[in-house]
Amino acid sequence: MTPTGVAIRDVREQLFDAADRILLRDGPSGLTSRAVTTEAGCAKGVLHRHFDDFDAFLAEFVLDRIHRMDPQAAALRESAGTGQVVDNLAQALAALFGSVAVAIVALVTFRDELRARLRRTWPAGVPVLTDAAEMIAAYLAAERRHGRIAAGADVDTLGAMLIGSGHLLFADRTGTPPDGSDVRRVVHAVVSGVVREP
């Protein structure tokens, strides 16, 4: 608990939620410690009472948002053997890239110190994209066990291709996001050669 009686976890969530809104609305350049505390409706010093500095806050924010993908990853793996592979993948990509994930990728590439901090626990790739590629590969591996993906399919490469293609489809859009048919078309182009279902 803080001296005001507010649980620390609540303050962290309040600050993280404020960072989400700023990142989606104003992009990485708008994400400052002052903007976060103002958006969260708390005093300027609150952030620095809970985090060593702003980059420490951002690193924990990014890791927290990555962990929020865990339920989505579990749901996707559990969908293996049901529905259509292309539809399952298209829905997962739309959910992933329709969230704050694309904005977090921009944030990580925008801030050198944040990338350096994340490298301490995340040795390769861009957080969110790497985790998402692993999520897709795990799903494809499960579908391969069900016989709905070719036995020799390189699921790790396919996962990376789907995430890269999804990122290109959704990234840096100022207008209307792609619709379901756009996402499905991209997924079909990547996996059509390995899908084994009617």
For residues 111 and 183, membership in a common domain is answered with yes
- Is 1 a member of any domain? no
How much is the pLDDT for 172?
Answer: 63
Lookup: tokens for 34 = 């002052």
For residues 142 and 45, membership in a common domain is answered with no
For residues 110 and 180, membership in a common domain is answered with yes
- Is 99 a member of any domain? yes
CA distance 49 to 33: 12
Residue 19, domain CATH: 1.10.10
Sign of the CA dihedral 38, 43, 49, 52?
positive
For residues 91 and 37, membership in a common domain is answered with no
Per-residue pLDDT, averaged over 106-113, amounts to 82
Q: Buried (b) or exposed (e) across 93-103, using 16+ Cβ within 10 A?
A: bbebbebbbbb
Number of domains into which the chain is organized: 2
Lookup: tokens for 3 = 């001296």
> What range does the domain containing 41 cover?
8-50
CA distance 126 to 120: 13
Task: Kindly report, residue by residue over 124-143, the tens digit of the pLDDT.
Answer: 666 678 888 999 999 999 99
Decide if pLDDT at 188 tops 80. yes
How much is the pLDDT for 125?
Answer: 62
Percent of the chain with pLDDT over 90: 47
- Rounded to the nearest integer, the mean pLDDT of the chain is 86
Residue-by-residue DSSP string for 118-182: HHTT--SS-TTHHHHHHHHHHHHHHHHHTTSB-TT--HHHHHHHHHHHHHHHHTT-SSPPP-HHH
For residues 36 and 107, membership in a common domain is answered with no
For residues 43 and 68, membership in a common domain is answered with no
For residues 96 and 170, membership in a common domain is answered with yes
The number of C-alpha atoms within 13 Å of 160 and in the hemisphere containing its C-beta is 6
Confidence tier at 107 by pLDDT (50, 70, 90): confident
CA distance 155 to 80: 14
Decide if pLDDT at 55 tops 60. yes
Task: Kindly report, residue by residue over 141-187, the tens digit of the pLDDT.
Answer: 999 999 999 999 999 999 999 999 998 888 765 667 788 899 999 99
- Is 19 a member of any domain? yes
For residues 108 and 150, membership in a common domain is answered with yes
For residues 111 and 181, membership in a common domain is answered with yes
